[in-house]
A and B are shown apart, each in its own frame.
Chain A
């Protein structure tokens, strides 16, 4: 799981339970594997899709990664809301940092309840110096996407 490595997570999936359906990846459990036919439209936990050779993780996968060790930032309420609206995270909105602080690394973005809102790329300082109001994490994907998909 190259993507898991990108966000600093130690994570592996059981290959026997992972199904690739036309570039979309699903994690099934044993009960589902027994009943699922090859031509399903959706099954189990959606993990993400590969498009033009690039992997786009699902929000379910991000939530699974967020449960363990990974690069994560926790953001306060207002920053969380702006992030869901597709905006980047400013340094002053970050309340905690776990894992990498290195620029260009990917990090998961969590709200104060510990729920994963998406992920982004570290572009600025996450530390004390970040308080000046510069963008710290560039938004790559956020759960507001559920609404954007429906338009």
Chain B
């Protein structure tokens, strides 16, 4: 009983707004009121940017290019819900948060490749990958939740994706498919962040963060094992917690046959010092996005260590 009581006290102490805000300050970021802007992503396979802009304008949706994205637009104002227009239902665009549009763009040369989307539902990034691939090659998309798979299937049908195959499969068992992947997107299940969830601080504890970090490492190890020798793996989360981000990437370079690649995209450098621990210097090449115009996000590109490409 006594042990149980102390465990409860510890969990209490390692949760709540103050606890997390203090952590962010120690990582160099001060909490502020943020309101991420709504964004959409053009499906270039289905329409050209200029035509979509004109069509949206005609129905009272005002958009503006997101400067750091090729096919992303901020929604400046709209007389209608952007998730219910004819153009949306025809798959001409997807409603996708701006930072969440970054990971799929970090791959080089996706056309004709065999790509794994390890944690895919509801499919925002699966559709984006298929779009960047021009519906060539194959995207293998996995998820463990049936309900979310149904949403993924709708998303694929709506956007006329024709190069994806979806399995209800735990990504920790992807080697069962006996495939090698040229590109792997691991948009990992994570703790999320307060900018995308108003009750985040009430809900989350450090224990959740550590549990998620463990699951992420397990998936990462399996995904790395299925990556072809000259393949590319992009790891991303919408968590702000370093255990799920930089610390996991440090673990990956130390325990898996992977190295971090420098990427040129929106966001800050990855943290190389986390609560007194020094991480591998290459972790700096990750991208950390503190909430602001976008929600919080993290992305990192990895390659096999011996790869010369």
A32 near B138 with CB under 8 A, answer: yes
Of B138, B152, B177, the residue contacting A37 (CB under 8 A) is B177
B162 near A45 with CB under 8 A, answer: yes
Which stretch of A1-9, A56-64, A97-105, A126-134 is in the interface? A56-64
* Residue in A closest to B162 when the chains form the complex, CB atoms: A45
Determine if A81 is an interface residue (Cβ-Cβ < 8 Å). Answer: yes
Given A111-B86, A117-B86, A143-B90, do A44 and B158 touch, yes or no (CB 8 Å)? no
* Residue in B closest to A27 when the chains form the complex, CB atoms: B162
Determine if B157 is an interface residue (Cβ-Cβ < 8 Å). Answer: yes
Cα–Cα, bound, A58→B158 (Å): 10
Dominant SS at the B interface? mixed
A144 near B163 with CB under 8 A, answer: no
Which stretch of B165-173, B263-271, B301-309 is in the interface? B165-173
Within 8 A of B (CB), among A28-44: 29, 31-32, 35-37, 39-44
Determine if B279 is an interface residue (Cβ-Cβ < 8 Å). Answer: no
Within 8 A of A (CB), among B62-88: 83-84, 86
Cα–Cα, bound, A36→B23 (Å): 45
Within 8 A of A (CB), among B114-138: 114, 137-138
Determine if B61 is an interface residue (Cβ-Cβ < 8 Å). Answer: no
A12-32 near B? 1/0 per residue, CB < 8 Å: 000000000000000101011
Cα–Cα, bound, A15→B149 (Å): 26
Complex interface: chain B residues within 8 A of A146 (CB): 89, 154, 157-158
Determine if B217 is an interface residue (Cβ-Cβ < 8 Å). Answer: no
Given A58-B157, A60-B157, A81-B86, do A150 and B165 touch, yes or no (CB 8 Å)? no
A31 near B138 with CB under 8 A, answer: yes
Cα–Cα, bound, A70→B175 (Å): 45
A29 near B149 with CB under 8 A, answer: no
Complex interface: chain B residues within 8 A of A81 (CB): 86
Dominant SS at the A interface? mixed
Within 8 A of A (CB), among B252-271: none
Determine if A51 is an interface residue (Cβ-Cβ < 8 Å). Answer: no
Cα–Cα, bound, A37→B164 (Å): 12
Complex interface: chain B residues within 8 A of A44 (CB): 162-165
Determine if A123 is an interface residue (Cβ-Cβ < 8 Å). Answer: no
Complex interface: chain A residues within 8 A of B152 (CB): 42
Determine if A84 is an interface residue (Cβ-Cβ < 8 Å). Answer: yes
Within 8 A of A (CB), among B136-154: 137-138, 140, 149-154
Within 8 A of A (CB), among B268-305: none
Determine if B186 is an interface residue (Cβ-Cβ < 8 Å). Answer: no
Determine if A115 is an interface residue (Cβ-Cβ < 8 Å). Answer: yes
Within 8 A of B (CB), among A43-102: 43-46, 58-60, 63, 80-81, 84
Complex interface: chain B residues within 8 A of A147 (CB): 83-84, 89
Complex interface: chain A residues within 8 A of B179 (CB): 35
B86 near A40 with CB under 8 A, answer: no
A35 near B138 with CB under 8 A, answer: yes
Cα–Cα, bound, A68→B162 (Å): 19
Shortest distance from the beta carbon of A133 to any chain B beta carbon, whole Å: 23
* Residue in A closest to B155 when the chains form the complex, CB atoms: A146
Shortest distance from the beta carbon of A45 to any chain B beta carbon, whole Å: 5
Cα–Cα, bound, A79→B157 (Å): 24
Name 25 interchain pairs, CB-CB below 8 A, sorted by A.
A29-B163, A32-B163, A35-B138, A35-B177, A37-B177, A40-B165, A41-B166, A41-B168, A42-B165, A43-B165, A44-B165, A46-B156, A46-B157, A60-B157, A60-B162, A63-B160, A84-B86, A84-B89, A115-B90, A117-B90, A143-B90, A143-B158, A146-B154, A146-B158, A147-B89
- Listed from nearest, the 5 A-B pairs whose CB atoms lie closest are A42-B166, A143-B89, A43-B165, A42-B153, A41-B166
